[in-house]
Amino acid sequence: MGRRYARRRENAHAVSSQSKVLVTGASGLLGGAVAQMLLDTGYAVRTFQRRPAADQVESVQGSVTDTEAVARAVAGVDAVIHLAAKVSFTGLWSEFAATNIDGTGNLLAAARHAGVRDFVFVSSPSVAHFGSSIVGSPAGIADPERARGNYARSKAAAELLALAEDSAAFRVAAIRPHIVWGPGDTQLVERVIERARARRLPFLDHGTALIDTTYIDNAAAAIVRGLERMDHAHGQALVITNGQPRPIAELIAGICVAAGVPEPGWSVPGWLARGAGSGIEKAWTAAGARGWVHDEPPMTRFLAEQLSTAHWFDQRHTHQVLDWVPQVGVAEGMERLAAYYGQSGQRRVSPVT
C-alpha cells in the first residue's frame, strides 16, 4: 500500500475543492482498500491507526480509546470513515467494549466537536444475526442482546450509538460489508488455506448452507459510495454483499483451488460443531486472559453457526440508496485470488495469528 499511497498523495492534496476524509483502521485489508480508493477518486486522506504507518499518506498514530489522539485525528477533516475495531472470535467483553463501543463514542464526540459533517460507521451483518438462517432478508436491526459473540454484540451496540447521533448537521450511516475476502485477506482466506493445508478444515453439514460474501474491491467501493451518497444513506444501516449466494462448500473449495491446497474431504454435523464450539470458546477465552494462547480457536459457537446456517440478503434497497452495484463477481474474484497465489499455492501464506 505504501507505494500506491505515495504515488497518489500529490494529486489528492492538489484537489483542494474535495473533502478531506479520515479513515480509521487503514492498516487492515478493507481500511487500506478504502483509503486507496478515496485517494484514487481525488479525496485528501488522513489515516488513523495504532501502528506506525508505512505509507507516505498523512497519518496519525494512536488508538480510538485515546481521546487526545482521536482529537488530533479528526481535526480539520470533513468526513470520517470508521473501520478500526477489535475483531476476534474470542476475548473478554471489556476489551471489545473498550475499542468497539467506547472507541466509537470517542470518535463520534470528537468528530461532532471538530465540525465534521459526515460519519460512515463500518459495521457487520453479524449485529443482526441471531443464530438462525437469514434467507433474502433486509438488513435487520442491530441488537446487542441477541447478537452472537462479544464481537457482534459490541459492534451492534456501537452501531446503535452511531446511528443515534444522526442529524441534518452531523450525518451518520452504517455500512455492513458481509464476509469480505480477496488477495491479502488474513481473516478468512489465509485461515481457510492454513487449515485446509493442515487437514483441519471440515465442512459443517457438508457445506450446503447458502451464504453471500463480498469481494474486497466491491466492499471498498460501497463504503466510499456510502460517503458520497450521504444525502440518501444517512440514518440507515445497509448490508453490502456481492449478491451472489453460493454454498459454503463451493466458496471454500474455490479458495483452496486458488491457493493450490487440498479441499476439505470430511464433514461434521452442525449441531455437534455448535456444541463443541461453545466449550472451546469458553476455554480459549479463559486461556487467553491468562496469556496462554494468542491465536484464534479452531471453532466457536458463532463460527459454527456461520458455517452451518444460510445468510444472504436482499440487496435491492442497498443498490437503490447507494446507486451502486458490485463490479467484481465471485468467479472473477477467484481468478484474481489464483493469480495472487500463483495458481499453485507457491506464494507464502503467513501464519494465522
Tens of pLDDT, residues 299-308: 566 666 667 6
Residues 6+ apart with CB under 8 A from 3: none
Q: Tell me the pLDDT tens digit for each residue of 1-49.
A: 433 333 333 333 333 336 899 999 998 999 999 999 999 999 999 999 8
Displacement of CA 233 from its chain's centroid (Å) = 19
**Domains of the chain: residue spans and CATH:** 2-340 (3.40.50.720)
Structure confidence by residue, pLDDT tens digits, 263-303: 888 777 765 666 666 676 666 666 665 555 456 666 566 66
Rounded distance, CA 318 to CA 324, Å? Answer: 8
Give φ, ψ of 136 to 5 degrees.
Answer: 65, 35
Alpha-carbon separation of residue 53 from 17, 36, 171 (angstroms): 26, 14, 28
Give just the sign of the alpha carbon dihedral 195, 196, 202, 204.
positive
The residues carrying an active-site annotation are 151
Q: What is the mean pLDDT of the chain?
A: 84
User: How big is the chain, counted in residues?
Assistant: 353
**Contact assessment for residue 36 and residue 69, using Cβ atoms and an 8 Å cutoff:** no
Q: For residues 55 and 6, is the Cβ–Cβ distance under 8 A?
A: yes
pLDDT in tens, 88-139: 877 789 999 999 999 999 999 999 999 999 999 999 998 988 767 777 788 8
